[in-house]
Chains A and B, each alone.
Chain A
Amino acid sequence: MTGGVRLARLAPPLTLAILLGPLAFGLAGTALPALGYLPELGGAGFTLQHFSDLAAVPGIFRSAMLSIVIGLVTTLVALGAVAAFVASDLGSPAFTRMRRMISPLLSVPHAAAAFGLAFLIAPSGMIMRLFSPWATGLDQPPDLLIVNDPLALSMMAGLIVKEIPFLFLVTLAALPQTRHAETMRLGRSLGYGRIASFTLLLWPPLYRQVRLAVFAVVAYASSVVDVALILGPHLPPTLPVRLIDWMNDPELESRFLASAGAVAQLGVTLLALLGWVGFEKTGAFLVRISRDAGRRWRHDAALRIGARTVMVASAAIVFGGIAVLALWSVSGLWQFPDALPSGFSLRSWMQALPRMSGPLATTLAVAGLSTLIALVLTILCLEREYETGRGRGGGALLLIYLPLIVPQISFMFGLQVLSIWLGVDASFPALVLAHLVFVLPYVFLSLSDPWRAHDRRHDLIAAGLGMSRSRTLIAIRLPMLTRAILTAAAVGFSVSVGQYLPTVLIGAGRLTTVTTEAVALAAGGNRRVIGVYAFMQTLLPFLAFSIATGLPGLVFRNRRGLRV
């Protein structure tokens, strides 16, 4: 018993060390070469030369601006759609249906969704094929710049369809902490439209809960690499894509430029976040004006239909994209304007499957282990918080979110140098640790709310019956929270499966996962092979989510109170 208590006391500092240690060392490892310090390349002193080199790169400001705009627009549209949808459909059958689709939508990796979207909307893509030649009269695709457009519209669309399920999930998690049904009824009875009732009464407390997750979306969209490679503009590409090019440049001196760029990326993401804070202030101001003017916004049908359309369309795009990629994985020759392949073949699967076993085993082991560690640490942290009775501090929460907000690319390179220096690169423990940096925040965030919402009176009764604290945890709280724990595990598992950059850099190419294999093969641009891997990449998280939702029902089939 005392052992358990002591462990719980160690958990919070250990968790912070795991999250912030790699972050701090990684940032230092990036900042030093950016300032000219990399002795093996002849950089012994400190200089700002590399930053002025960076500023002289053609189109660099456009690249940076693009990243900022993409971060802001993506988040604005995705969050707006989610908020409007929740406002207009909370409690409706459409809402329940959407809620059921979240897990499969979250299971589809960003890159796979981007590939799917690219093939749907390209001039020679699926939509065009369905309407050609009978409706369009075309037997040759039109020469239109849709994918990779200079304004990054297709890239933002690709990001929006994937951020919507994430923001929806976060919002759903926060909803139970508000008295949403009563609040909405109050607003409606005062004559406000649904969206106005929601915006004026429910949104302020709700937004406070999801704010950090929204920040994470801004940061992610402004620093994403894989989606930008597939859908983003080319001339010039966004800043993170240029960074990767410099890091991969055979002229090793480009390393300095890449490091300076990684520091600049940190600034770009920070600017995007500041821009978002500006949006928040503007939004709050507009809401106040409308509120003080007393406008009821009763006729909001257009907005509500719009929100529902965006939600349905985003789900349709993600599912449609994956379905088409799955079709590619078994297709033979498939030319424009054929709506279906002229032949089917299992060749891609036959070639890929035998070589997938190694990466698959690594994926499962790393994801399983990092999720397990994250779960144990999270539970111990929450248990400690429960014991001390100290609520969450906003500061502590920010620290947990930090690895999700600081761009991966800005600290992963430094972390790679550090791991080589320690001689632990390409080792399994180092890879698990690198994944843990990203798995832990998600697990913590998914589990903390249900944990805190747990009814303390169960523990009081247990204590009254003479149970020790550890025993209460094991016999009462853990079983009652099984569903939440499994869901958190599924989230952590899928986050680990999706990690590309940390796996490539720390795994040093020796430890490969399904995702790193998928990206390496995607370099070959072969849609059939991409289809095979995208399918596998989606399947793993999907299985995890299915287990999380199905298992409790099975285990608790004779515990009526724990069924849903």
Chain B
Amino acid sequence: MLKSPILFAGALTAALALSHAAKAADPNPRDWDAVLAEAKGQTVYFNAWGGSENINSYIGWAGETLKERFGVEVVHVKLDDTASAVAKVLAEKTAGKNEGGSVDLIWINGENFASMKRQQLLMSPDWTTGLPNWTYVDHENKPTILTDFTIATDGLESPWGGAKMVFFHDTARTPAESMPKSSAELLKWTQDNLGRFSYPQPPDFIGSSFLKQVLIETIADKSKLSQPVTDASFDEDVAPLFAYLDTLHPNLWRGGKAYPQNYPDMKQKLADGELDIIFAFNPSEASAGIAAGELPDTVRSFAYTDGTLGNTHFVAIPYNAAAKAGALVLANFLISPEAQARKQDPSIWGDPTVLSMDKLSTDERAAFDALDLGIATLKPDQLGPALDEPHPDWMERIEGEWLKRYGAAN
């Protein structure tokens, strides 16, 4: 009974000593064979949102494949909020744990990336363009791969998938031709259909995206959005947005006194008949929902004529990750044509690829061409233009403003 604490403390000291001795240079992706050799036997703790069984299965598959081919173990740490992984790395930095951290790879983009980059919590310098599979990545035509919410990625995060805002409705209840084609039309639609639309409460990612979509459509000078907020003109810049919301809110589900939690909650409410129009950041969500028996097969997608928000999501390695080589191998595998084609399959996940079809071999391209994108998924030419994300500063300021105006409405 008395012995165990001493043993415990002894083990602790030994462990600390070991972690100091293990200090070494970061693995270099340009020397890939060395990376593979170092990665073998490592365990990669992949911190990724765990709210979707589809995605969890896909990550499980990637882990099994990695174990088979490269001897790298992948453990999916399921987060309910990506920011908690950021907070974890910070907590480790706070405690002075600069090596052997508990997070090896994070699924990330936007403000979380901006925050980590600014606080220097990421492995640097540029490692992504050194990955062998980077040659397939379509960074020429997909600008959001190099600029994440207007912040230069600088090779500190490796692209994983594309995203674009799309709307869904059930044609059994609402005819396709009555669907709004812009934020202004949406406002009018809610006046005629009281209580049949809502958006997830900010700071939920999808909810904040809705605010940004309206902001882009209503702000007088769009060029301001690529820069951080100017304090002097902020109120004036966002006045149209909040005028829009002030008119919209009484028309919302529950009169705007409660909001759905997130996208899956909206999806459930579409099936429950509580909402008539919902939206997501993944064009194939509706088809995936139909395939899973969560949505009726009469659900269809639509997008705005003048475009909706589009962005890219990434994976990044914290500066103090314990298994950097393993994380590199996983990041590289995730942008392989094989993994990307599987990811785009709606019966698996349905997340759009970040690769360029022109850079693939005939066989690799065939795998993409063979995919059945599903009955409710829009073709690329029907998706409409992709609008750039504003600087993360805007999102933060708008969320704050939203909370101030509506957060204590009751």
Contact = CB atoms under 8 A, between A and B. Distances in A.
Contact of B1 (A10, A251, A334): A10
Interface string A320-347: 0000000000011111110000010101
B80 interface: yes
Nearest to B270: A335
A145 B257 contact: yes
B271 A334 contact: yes
Contact of A512 (B78, B97, B112, B265): B78
A517 B83 contact: no
Interface string B344-376: 000000000000000000000000000000000
B8 A236 contact: no
Contacts of B404: 58
A150 B407 CA distance: 12
A194 interface: no
A14 to B, nearest CB: 8
A247 interface: yes
A40 B87 CA distance: 12
Contact of B294 (A150, A429, A526): A526
Nearest to B293: A332
B38 interface: no
B273 A140 contact: yes
Nearest to A66: B410
A41 interface: yes
Nearest to A38: B94
B408 to A, nearest CB: 2
A421 interface: yes
Contact of B60 (A58, A355, A416, A509): A355
Interface string B11-32: 0100110010000000000000
B274 A333 contact: no
Contact of B271 (A333, A347, A421, A429): A333
B408 A58 contact: yes
Contact of B264 (A510, A517, A525): A525
Contacts of B403: 58
Nearest to A331: B293
- Most B Cβ at <10 Å: residue of A247, A352, A510, A524: A524
Interface string A3-40: 00001001000100000000000000000000000111
Contacts of B51: 520-526
A425 B295 contact: no
Contact of B274 (A141, A425, A504): A141
A249 B83 contact: yes
A261 interface: no
A7 B102 CA distance: 37
A250 interface: yes
A250 B83 contact: yes
Contacts of B254: 143-145
Given A62-B408, A252-B119, A345 B80 contact: no
Interface in A219-263: 229, 233-236, 245, 247-252, 255
A331 B294 CA distance: 9
B294 A335 contact: no
A519 interface: yes
Contact of A235 (B90, B267, B408): B408
Interface in B94-134: 94-97, 102, 111-112, 114-115, 119
A124 interface: yes
Contacts of A144: 254
A525 B259 contact: no
A234 B79 CA distance: 22
B75 interface: yes
B53 A509 contact: no
A38 B83 CA distance: 19
B396 A251 contact: yes
Contacts of B88: 508-509
Given A333-B295, A423-B15, A150 B257 contact: yes
A334 B268 CA distance: 10
B406 interface: yes
B351 to A, nearest CB: 15
A368 interface: no
Contacts of B86: 250, 252
A337 B274 CA distance: 11
Interface string B60-103: 10000000000000010111111111111011111111000010
A123 interface: yes
A249 B50 CA distance: 18
B37 interface: no
Nearest to B252: A143
A416 B274 CA distance: 40
Contact of A429 (B8, B91, B102, B114): B8
B155 interface: no
B6 interface: no
A467 to B, nearest CB: 24
B272 A526 contact: no
A148 B88 CA distance: 30
B77 A509 contact: yes
Contacts of A139: 273
A526 B296 contact: no
A141 B294 CA distance: 18
A422 interface: yes
Given A236-B407, A248-B87, A523-B80, A417 B1 contact: no
A426 interface: yes
Nearest to B260: A525
A348 B53 contact: yes
A58 B273 contact: no
17 contacts: A10-B1, A40-B90, A58-B407, A124-B272, A150-B410, A248-B87, A249-B203, A250-B86, A333-B271, A333-B296, A335-B271, A336-B271, A351-B57, A508-B88, A520-B51, A521-B51, A525-B265
Given A143-B254, A355-B60, 14 more contacts: A58-B408, A59-B408, A124-B272, A124-B273, A139-B273, A235-B257, A235-B258, A333-B293, A336-B271, A423-B15, A509-B102, A512-B77, A524-B53, A525-B261
Interface of A: 7, 10, 14, 38-41, 58-59, 62, 122-124, 139-141, 143-145, 147-150, 229, 233-236, 245, 247-252, 255, 331-337, 343, 345, 347-348, 351-352, 355, 416-417, 420-426, 429, 504, 508-510, 512, 516-517, 519-529
Q: Which 8 A-B pairs have the closest CB atoms?
A: A59-B408, A524-B51, A150-B410, A143-B195, A523-B80, A124-B272, A509-B77, A525-B264
